[in-house]
Structure 1
């Protein structure tokens, strides 16, 4: 013990070898996760190494166990906090998705109602292009007109919408 306290690394390795199972079991009993316990046990030995100069020579195993338990409790608190934050973030994300979905449905419904105000010859090309994602060529075939006619109708429909709809109605 005195050699390790004086900085002898070989003596400290002997301490690690002697107590590693005990420290692992101690932190595992708090953390209940093998990977976390392995990481925590390594950290405990680092803490013990740095705290050796303060060790007073009474009950070394008890002293190390106290360091291990306190550290494991700290780790468990941090893990619980991270898990709690992740759960809260998931709840926020879920709530945001629901709100966005509701708003999107409301906007779609508003647009559908407002589309009834658009002149019929413009309404058809707007619906085909923006709602049904049809190409100019596909619309031209369906309406039995030239592609240029569809382009012109869509151009005029956009201008009609710009003149008659206010953007703030759709926010």
Structure 2
């Protein structure tokens, strides 16, 4: 049924796209909400995801619409979350330093956050060399899979595999206590 709807949307049938949205809006919303954890942001992201789906339909290869759609939703939500976090960080940096110096809790929190960041960067050195660069690029430098693949002259799938294996390595070798 979904593939039939997709073909009708590709043919320019707007009503078919409305049906497609109605059929999948809850799934997309739950997906983006699970990343963003904010009702209004998730509602906005859901609308944006359907716009991306519509514009990306010509590239869709009829290989599992729900999986394809969910991947678009997850990637968009992660991008929104990064942007939101970056904006919070920038607005935090723009505040005058004197306002923070008088507040012992803020100074202490900033100190511990910087210490944790140093610890994480040190722990990255423990990663096997094949994983270290891709983890650094993806999580620290916030590069996309595509950017990493182009820079390392490898396939995007190879980047995904390296990240997957690096996460498994970290789960196996690192403990939460190591970072507290």
Query: TM-score normalized by structure 1?
Result: 0.54
Q: Matches of 1:69 and 1:79 in 2, distance apart?
A: 15
Residue 8 of structure 2, aligned match among 3, 7, 29: 3
Q: Matches of 2:27 and 2:66 in 1, distance apart?
A: 9
* C-alpha displacement of 1:13: 0.5
Is 1:70 matched with 2:75?
yes
Question: What are the Cα deviations for residues 86-143 of structure 1, in whole angstroms up to 9, with x where unaligned?
Answer: 111124362699xxxxxxxxxxxxxxxxxxxxxxxxxxxxxxxxxxxxxxxxxxxxxx
Quick one: structure 1 residues 71 and 93, their matched pair in 2 at CA, closer, same or farther if it must change by over 3 Å?
Answer: farther
Quick one: structure 1 residues 93 and 58, their matched pair in 2 at CA, closer, same or farther if it must change by over 3 Å?
Answer: farther
Is 1:16 matched with 2:32?
no
Gaps of 5+ in 2: 1-5, 103-180
SS in 2 for 1:7: coil
Q: Matches of 1:49 and 1:81 in 2, distance apart?
A: 28
RMSD: 1.8
Query: TM-score normalized by structure 2?
Result: 0.51
Tell me the matched-pair count. 97
Is 1:83 matched with 2:88?
yes
Structure exhibiting the larger radius of gyration computed from Cα positions:
1
Gaps of 5+ in 1: 98-171
SS in 1 for 2:61: coil
